[in-house]
Amino acid sequence: MESYQEGGLGIKDIRKLNCALVAKWRWRLISQEKGKWNEVLLSKYGLQLDDTRIPVKYQSWWWRDIKKICREGEGEGWFQEELRWKLGRGDKIIFWEDVWVGNTSLKTCFQRLYTLTANQEQKVEEAGVWEGSEWQWRLQWRRERFERESEMERSLLERVSRTFVKRNVNDTQV
């Protein structure tokens, strides 16, 4: 928007304003804010933005905008890229692709190991097991690792071991 002082008409960019407002609604939804509107959306659509059970023709324009804000263009949109996960039981976080340890995905930090993993789409809870009251990481590989790759694995395990899987706590986006 160009202000009057800059020679403009002082008209706001409606697209940017709409994008900001829709992002606010998306944030309210994922932060599990209480309210009737939240209950209605969750009962109708759930939290899965990529859920294809509800045909597009039955989705409201508002819901489509919320989905779009998270998946603009190819892949993920700016909103999704800014979100981080706080680890709970690990049932919602994709081990390699989501940002839950540090500020970048493990896929980005350990590209070589990502290509070797047996399951690139596994959730955090599938990457380990509970042994009594202790969580143990159990990553599975398509083949034996070379020495350099084994060192990368040790570095990866050291990094993920700084966070703790919790049995009765939900994963949350922050």
Give residue-wise pLDDT tens across range 76-102: 566 767 778 899 999 989 999 999 998
What is the model's pTM? 0.66
* pLDDT of res. 60: 77
Residue 91 or 7, more confident: 91
Distance (Å, rounded) from C-alpha 49 to C-alpha 163?
27
Which spans in 5-110 are helix H?
Answer: 14-30, 36-44, 61-70, 78-82, 106-109
In angstroms, the CA 100 to CA 95 distance is: 8
The pLDDT of residue 152 is above 90: yes
pLDDT of residue 73: 46
16: pLDDT strictly greater than 90: no
Task: Name the strand (E) or helix (H) holding 172.
Answer: strand 172-173
Q: Are 139 and 81 in contact (CB under 8 A)?
A: no
Assign 164 a pLDDT band (cuts: 50, 70, 90): very high
Q: Say yes or no to pLDDT of 12 above 50.
A: yes
The answer to which of 30-34, 118-122, 159-163 has the lowest mean pLDDT is 30-34
User: Which of 7-11, 55-59, 151-155 shows the highest mean pLDDT?
Assistant: 151-155
pLDDT of the residue at 74: 43
What per-residue confidence (pLDDT) applies to 34? 74
What torsion, rounded to 10 degrees, do the Cα atoms 73, 79, 81, 85 define? -140
